[in-house]
Structure 1
Amino acid sequence: MPKILIVGGGYAGFYTAWKLEKHLRPGEAEVTIIDPLPYMTYQPFLPEIAAGSIEPRHAVVSQRRHLKRTEVITAKVTYINHAEKKVTVSPEIGEPYEMSYDQVVVTAGAVSRTFPIPGLADQGIGLKTVEEAVAIRDRMLDNFAKAAGLPAGPERDRLLTFVVVGGGFAGIEVFAELRSFASSLLKYYPQLSFDDIHFHLVEAMSRIMPEVSLETSHWVLKNLANRGALVHLDTQFASCVDGNIELSTGEKFESDLIVWTAGVMANPQIVRNTDLPIEERGRVMTRADLRVGTDEEPIEGAWAAGDVSRVPDLTGGGVGGFCVPNAQHAVRQGKLLAKNIVAVLRGELPKEYFHKNLGAVAGLGIGIGVFQSGKLAIKGFPAWVAHRGYHGLAMPSWERKLRVFGGWVNNFFLGRDIVSLSAVQHPRAAFEEFAARPKPPAPAAEKPAETPAASTPAAKSDKAPAKKAPAKKTPAKKPASKTAAKPAAEKAAASN
């Protein structure tokens, strides 16, 4: 059977495998998906995970549970050699090995794009994984607990100052969600007040949320200002060494939580280790029908979709004429990609990807949101309901949908869970602290210098006398007779 290999299990990769299981006939092809993580993360929920509104496990989809006819390999692909139709697979344990394929699907996604800003690599945290969202939530909870035990001063201000860099959708959503979360925590910490908490968003452009109208973005800015959050527009993030923030405007302050959301880039582990064509911005060159290659010449047996690819936007609405890297495109491209692969296997022509943006919706904290579709803009509570409804239904599988909606219902009646589990990042710390360990062996006593046994009388006396072996009995020699001895004596006298 033809072997279809999917590199990457994010939106595009997961949906490609999921839909291939639906469209392929039994025995028509073998499908394998390789990803370092055994789950797909629904990234639009990351801001709500950071704010404690969604249980982290509810925002991920198990590949092994939902891809029932796909071979799932939890490992990294470190090289794609399409000339020989082989990939190099590096498992977490064991030696790398090669795997052959007939059709390869490159859906390795994107990672946070950063700049060489002093201190950022050591102090910042991104918002691309569920682990990062959980760490942000736990850091905020820990900082509130620490600050509540401190008097007013620089150290408490540092713990209660939160910074988000990037004013796109992801940045604004996590910024607003964290602001909402912080306000809800005040009732549990009577030692702290609203004025003790400081939120800063840094954006290099002159506006936020380019996906919505300018009027809608101004409404968001006003709403954030009324909630005590400060937005720095036309401002560069200059330095954050040891948490000491420096902005291009000259403003300085300290922070213990810096969230970086200023852009993404195609997964460098894949695009730098392949013979497939890569364009100048580091993405896989992809045609409108999702085959790798140029408009004039597709590359047989190679496909790409999602954030790692450069797919033409045939609607004319994409930046630079190409689809922007977001979940909306990745999901739909994955669905079409599965259909196109099946079509090619059956000798049919693939279809081109065409999706007109239906609008943008964002949650800004409990009960607040914005929705923009063309000139239609909805703000406040109705937009928040639309946000939750859209993303709740977009979550793959009814099993996950029910978990997400069930969590929201629980929070409505019980409130958000405010327990920090930051200790889970070092799960053996408590065990190691109190674990009994074997005592170190006692140092061996030094032996006195040895001297030869016969050198001194003292040495002889110190040694116990050795037992002698019993002597063998031998017949005693008879003494010579007197008659035999006499002639000998006479001869001696005569010679004298």
Structure 2
Amino acid sequence: MNTAATTAPKILIVGGGYAGFYTAWKLEKHLRRGEAEVTMVDPLPYLTYQPFLPEVAAGSIEPRHAVVAHRRHLKRTTVINAKITGINHAAKTATITGPDGQSWEHAYDQIVVTAGSVSRTFPIPGIADNAIGMKTIEEAVAVRDRVMSNFDRAAALPAGPERDRLLTVVVVGGGFAGIEAFAELRSLASALLKDYPQLSFDDTHFHLIEAMGRIMPEVSLKTSEWVLKDLAKRGAYVHLDTQVTGAVNGNVELSTGETLPSDLIVWTAGVMANPTVVRGGDLPVEERGRIRTRADLRVGTAEAAVEGAWAAGDVSAVPDLSGGGVGGYCVPNAQHAVRQAKLLAKNLVAVLRGEAPRDYLHKNLGAVAGLGLYNGVFQSGNFALKGFVAWLAHRGYHGLAMPTWERKWRVLWGWWNNLWLGRDIVSLEAVQTPRAVFEQFAARPRPPQPVEAAPKKDAPAGPAESKAASDGGKAAAKKPAKKPAKKASASA
């Protein structure tokens, strides 16, 4: 019997996004064989590289190339595709709920909470029913297919309100995620026009709604103003100091009194820590709904750590020791999540070996955004790049930051092909209902036919009739059958 397998500490990683994947990946590198058992739980079998979602929505990157399969690259980690629906750290158990709804308890010695974030919305009428986020690969694909399908439909319609609605895109939120998605979709629409002679540039309408007085707070005011001017040149409208007050039936109502009928509303107005994990556990939570985390990435406060609990990424409130974080904490982005995960893996191994963990300290390197093909913006301190050079910096940075060389090559190969062949403009919206055609033409059993009534029986015979029938039967039995004629027999 292998005693190391039964006595080794059990490490449970909650979530397989940036922070979760990188924590498991680096633990496999730093842990000695048999030193610990690592289990990662996530409902999805892959990591989504979210900076590529706008390019996926614009048809510039193949969707599967923007995700990283857990099982392909985590060879010594047990991967469970399920949800963590409860954490009882006092007992060091977590409740795992599978896709079928069945739940079970999982015991651990060390827990790493990296459950990430979800789209943060507000109770605005119609948003929950009509809008779509830009946080998952599935959402990016759905947005891409909707834009292309709407062009197909609009091209068959005469000019009018319905065609305008199909060709109107509304993006809510002017942060990096919103601006990148907005600019990439505008670039896609402009590129599609050459294949739709029935439509003109003036038929397409793009609106971005931002509640603040500026966009992209991650860059300088001067750079954000350049982005506004660039978008205006490309026929994209940005509504500053404006809020969405309703979106019932796709009619986007603004605080200015304007109404924008649209068939595509993309919501990018902020994120919040995964509420299922945060609210379903007994780990300390700060006022913004994130798990309270120390600078060394252990859960707790600066005065005391919660033994055996760690957190990183968007779900955690990690102090920003560089002084550049909003409210004193690291902002929720991939740059911090990846670096926190790498240090967390080292710190966890250090604690298992009786050594002291180190504090997380990272100064923001800057921000880079793609604004459609051959256009971008880059900001680092007071230094800024704009246009084609910034676009090259954007692709260069994210091409290198994409996890694993296998995925890097797939992305680079796709970019190279698109350079010569152009982006693919085929809509696969029907994949959302893959059995529709099969069901339409599939043969089905005929419905059961009504049972025919049985024929009525004859009335019972009287006594005389019965006697006559009986006598006749006896006579027939006594009378011998006629012999066949010889002549007939011979001829036969």
What TM-score do you get using the length of structure 2 for normalisation?
0.92
Residue 49 (structure 1) aligns with: 56
Instruction: Supply the distance in 1 between the matched residues of 2:235 and 2:303 (Cα, whole angstroms).
Output: 54
SS across alignment from 2:22: helix
1:294 aligns with 2:301: yes
SS across alignment from 1:97: strand
1:430 aligns with 2:437: yes
Instruction: Supply the distance in 2 between the matched residues of 1:60 and 1:462 (Cα, whole angstroms).
Output: 93
Residue 271 (structure 1) aligns with: 278
Instruction: Supply the distance in 1 between the matched residues of 2:94 and 2:453 (Cα, whole angstroms).
Output: 61
What one-letter code is carried by the residue in structure 2 that aligns with 1:274? G
Residue 195 (structure 1) aligns with: 202
Residue 176 (structure 2) aligns with: 169
User: What are the ranges of 5 or more consecutive residues in structure 2 without an aligned counterpart?
Assistant: 1-7, 471-492
Instruction: Supply the distance in 1 between the matched residues of 2:426 and 2:308 (Cα, whole angstroms).
Output: 49
Instruction: Supply the distance in 2 between the matched residues of 1:381 and 1:422 (Cα, whole angstroms).
Output: 32
Residue 90 (structure 1) aligns with: 97
Q: Deviations over 1:146-177 (max 9, x none)?
A: 00000000000000000000000000000000
**Structure with greater Cα Rg:** 1
Residue 474 (structure 1) aligns with: none
Instruction: Supply the distance in 2 between the matched residues of 1:65 and 1:458 (Cα, whole angstroms).
Output: 87
The equivalences for 1:186-225 within 5 A come to 186-225=193-232
What one-letter code is carried by the residue in structure 1 that aligns with 2:144? R
Residue 254 (structure 1) aligns with: 261
SS across alignment from 2:20: helix
Residue 315 (structure 1) aligns with: 322
Residue 123 (structure 2) aligns with: 116
- 2:366 paired residue among 359, 366, 377: 359
Instruction: Supply the distance in 2 between the matched residues of 1:430 and 1:163 (Cα, whole angstroms).
Output: 31
Residue 71 (structure 2) aligns with: 64
Instruction: Supply the distance in 2 between the matched residues of 1:130 and 1:185 (Cα, whole angstroms).
Output: 22
Instruction: Supply the distance in 1 between the matched residues of 2:102 and 2:161 (Cα, whole angstroms).
Output: 51
Residue 331 (structure 1) aligns with: 338
Q: CA deviation at 1:445?
A: 2.5
- 1:389 paired residue among 379, 391, 396: 396
User: What are the ranges of 5 or more consecutive residues in structure 1 without an aligned counterpart?
Assistant: 468-496
Residue 450 (structure 2) aligns with: 443
- The count of corresponding residues between Structure 1 and Structure 2 is 462
Residues 1:446 and 1:233: Cα distance change in structure 2 (over 3 Å): same
- 1:127 paired residue among 131, 134, 156: 134
Residues 1:222 and 1:459: Cα distance change in structure 2 (over 3 Å): farther
Instruction: Supply the distance in 2 between the matched residues of 1:460 and 1:316 (Cα, whole angstroms).
Output: 118
1:144 aligns with 2:151: yes
Instruction: Supply the distance in 1 between the matched residues of 2:465 and 2:327 (Cα, whole angstroms).
Output: 99
Q: CA deviation at 1:93?
A: 2.6
What one-letter code is carried by the residue in structure 2 that aligns with 1:73? I
Residue 234 (structure 2) aligns with: 227
Q: Deviations over 1:317-374 (max 9, x none)?
A: 0000000111110010110000000000000001101000010000000000000000
Q: CA deviation at 1:440?
A: 1.4
What one-letter code is carried by the residue in structure 1 that aligns with 2:398? H
Instruction: Supply the distance in 2 between the matched residues of 1:179 and 1:62 (Cα, whole angstroms).
Output: 31
What one-letter code is carried by the residue in structure 2 that aligns with 1:436? A
- CA-based RMSD: 1.9
What one-letter code is carried by the residue in structure 2 that aligns with 1:273? G
SS across alignment from 1:6: strand
Q: CA deviation at 1:253?
A: 2.1
The equivalences for 1:379-418 within 5 A come to 379-418=386-425
Instruction: Supply the distance in 1 between the matched residues of 2:65 and 2:461 (Cα, whole angstroms).
Output: 85
Instruction: Supply the distance in 1 between the matched residues of 2:276 and 2:78 (Cα, whole angstroms).
Output: 22
- 2:19 paired residue among 2, 12, 30: 12
What one-letter code is carried by the residue in structure 2 that aligns with 1:332? R
Instruction: Supply the distance in 1 between the matched residues of 2:94 and 2:260 (Cα, whole angstroms).
Output: 48
Q: CA deviation at 1:460?
A: 10
Instruction: Supply the distance in 2 between the matched residues of 1:200 and 1:401 (Cα, whole angstroms).
Output: 33
Instruction: Supply the distance in 2 between the matched residues of 1:371 and 1:461 (Cα, whole angstroms).
Output: 116
Instruction: Supply the distance in 2 between the matched residues of 1:409 and 1:320 (Cα, whole angstroms).
Output: 42
The equivalences for 1:172-187 within 5 A come to 172-187=179-194
